[in-house]
Amino acid sequence: MTVKRMDNVGVVVDDLAAAVAFFKELGLELEGEAQVEGRVVDRLVALDGVRCDIAMMRTPDGHSRLELMKFRSPASDSAERNNPNTLGIRRIMFAVEDIDDVVARLRAHGAELVGELVQYENSYRLCNVRGPEGILIALAEKIG
């Protein structure tokens, strides 16, 4: 048995509209929105009384998806913002064409540069930005 593909990465947010706008600005397309609830959902996520709004975002090439989730109930614990060395999923990386333009457009949606925009040898320009809800994303522009 082998994995067919990675289907999506799920991120829980508090402001779903702001997160959707941020990732649209990055170039992802809104594939669909839904609200999920009920006993099956409760059993799946091991919580009672789940009511969750979901927005599925798709990369322009159609190969990757980002599932943004806003739990209406039960209320979530406000966790400490992730530091770059926190155990678990560190960040999501996107390949971009014009990293300077992307960073400027994302800043208009509240993104903050984490560290510096750097050039790695003669192959990539790279940076990390913190977006809505403290989500850490990396951007990579291939040189040449």
Task: Tell me, yes or no, whether 13 and 68 share the same domain.
Answer: yes
| Per-residue confidence (pLDDT) for residue 85, from 0 to 100 | 52
In a domain, 34, yes or no: yes
In terms of Cβ atoms closer than 10 Å to its own Cβ (0-12, 13-18, 19+), residue 113 is middle
Kindly state the helix (H) or strand (E) to which residue 44 belongs, with its residue range.
Answer: helix 39-45
The CATH number of residue 25's host domain is: 3.10.180.10
What confidence score (pLDDT) does residue 79 get?
A: 55
Going from the C-alpha of 59 to that of each of 27, 124, 130, the distances in angstroms are 7, 20, 19
Q: Are residues 22 and 53 in the same domain?
A: yes
Give the Cα separation of 128 and 144 in Å (integer): 21
Question: Which residues span the domain enclosing 47?
Answer: 9-73
126 strand-pairing partners: 118, 140
pLDDT of residue 76: 72
**Averaged pLDDT in 10-residue chunks for the chain of 144 residues:** 78 92 96 93 87 96 93 74 58 92 95 92 93 88 92
Residue with tokens 């998806």: 65
What's the total number of domains in the chain?
Answer: 2
pTM above 0.85, yes or no: no
The DSSP code for 101 is H
Q: What is the structure's pLDDT at 86?
A: 59
